[in-house]
């Protein structure tokens, strides 16, 4: 009986990626102690990570999906997140725009009445920003084919000369350990930007939670604001808030 129930919990996580203790108690008619034992067992098997109030599916992703497929995936959620993030940018800000599809959507939504200075390592985003009422500076560096992103030591050195008010950062993965990315050079550039920014704003749709990409970017404590959608695991969001991170859930 235990194994059957645990298999069903694993199947639930495959479908919805997160489960809560309360949900499992109601679904299976079991006590909180039994829930905790089941989740501890599944965590030992590498199936999930326990979080406050429940669990998230454990997922280690080593390869980055191609840009065009990421553009289309979870488009509605990304549009909502981008709209909420754009509201955090103020006139005269100095803003770094990370590479990534959701961050580019922020650039597309940027109010033309806002006059900002913009830095970016994403060539597509630079083109979008150049059509707005802002000065655009590319980081320089090595171009990655397909992504049209810039990174490497030259990009990091160039950024070291500038102060940044706000950094808009995309996340490949978000766990209790922090933010992660797929490419070492780009993770390094993100880390440099985060260390140099007055406010760090991370954008992550619901599918990024529980994902560990190969390269660490920063611990959660270095983030000021997380913008996500209403499908993100609520218990984990509460845990982030307890760490002092402002969590913004974009409304439909």
d(CA 171, CA 227): 11
| Contact (Cβ atoms closer than 8 angstroms) between residue 249 and residue 229 | yes
CATH 1.10.10 range(s) for the chain read: 2-57
Residue 60 pLDDT exceeds 80:
no
Q: Which fold has domain 67-250?
A: Rossmann fold (3.40.50)
Residue 41 pLDDT exceeds 80:
yes
pLDDT at position 187 is 86
Residue 67 pLDDT exceeds 80:
no
- Nearest by Cα to 10 from 36, 46, 61: 46
Q: Which of 35-44, 65-74, 171-180, 233-242 has the lowest mean pLDDT?
A: 65-74
The whole model's pTM is what? 0.74
Measured between alpha carbons, how far is residue 195 from residues 85, 113, 172 in Å?
20, 29, 19
Task: Locate 117 and state its tokens.
Answer: 């200075």
CATH 3.40.50.1360 range(s) for the chain read: 67-250
Question: Helices 2-16 and 32-44, interaxial angle, to 10°?
Answer: 70
Task: Locate 144 and state its tokens.
Answer: 């990655």
pLDDT at position 62 is 45
pLDDT band at 248 (very low <50, low <70, confident <90, very high): very high
Name, in order, each residue with C-beta under 8 angstroms of 93's C-beta and a sequence gap of 6 or more.
114, 116, 117, 165, 166
Q: Which of 88-92, 104-108, 152-156, 247-251 has the lowest mean pLDDT?
A: 152-156
Q: What is the largest CA-CA distance in the chain?
A: 63
Class of the domain covering 2-57: mainly alpha
**How many other CB atoms are found less than 10 A from the CB of residue 116?**
22
Residue 69 pLDDT exceeds 60:
no
């Amino acid at each position: 009986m235990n194994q059957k129930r645990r298999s069903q919990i694993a199947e639930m996580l495959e479908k919805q990626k997160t489960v809560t203790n309360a949900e499992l108690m109601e679904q299976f008619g079991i006590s909180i102690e039994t829930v905790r034992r089941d989740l501890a067992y599944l965590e030992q098997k590498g199936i999930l990570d326990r979080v406050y109030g429940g669990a998230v599916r454990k997922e280690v992703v080593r390869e980055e999906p191609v840009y065009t497929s990421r553009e289309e995936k979870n488009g509605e959620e990304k549009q909502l997140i981008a709209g909420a993030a754009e509201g955090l940018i103020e006139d005269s800000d100095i803003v770094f725009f990370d590479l990534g599809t959701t961050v580019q959507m922020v650039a597309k939504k940027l109010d033309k009445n806002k006059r900002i200075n913009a830095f970016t390592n994403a060539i597509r985003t630079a083109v979008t920003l150049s059509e707005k009422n802002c000065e655009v500076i590319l980081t320089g560096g090595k171009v990655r084919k397909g992504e049209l992103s810039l990174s490497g030591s030259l990009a990091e050195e160039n950024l070291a000369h500038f102060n940044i008010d706000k950094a808009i950062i995309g996340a490949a993965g978000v766990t209790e350990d922090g933010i992660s990315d797929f490419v070492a050079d780009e993770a390094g550039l993100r880390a440099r930007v985060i260390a140099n920014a007055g406010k760090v704003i991370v954008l992550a749709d619901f599918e990024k939670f529980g994902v560990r990409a190969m390269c660490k970017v920063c611990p959660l404590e270095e983030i000021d604001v997380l913008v996500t959608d209403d499908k993100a695991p609520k218990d984990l969001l509460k845990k982030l808030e307890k760490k002092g991170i402002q969590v913004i859930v974009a409304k439909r």
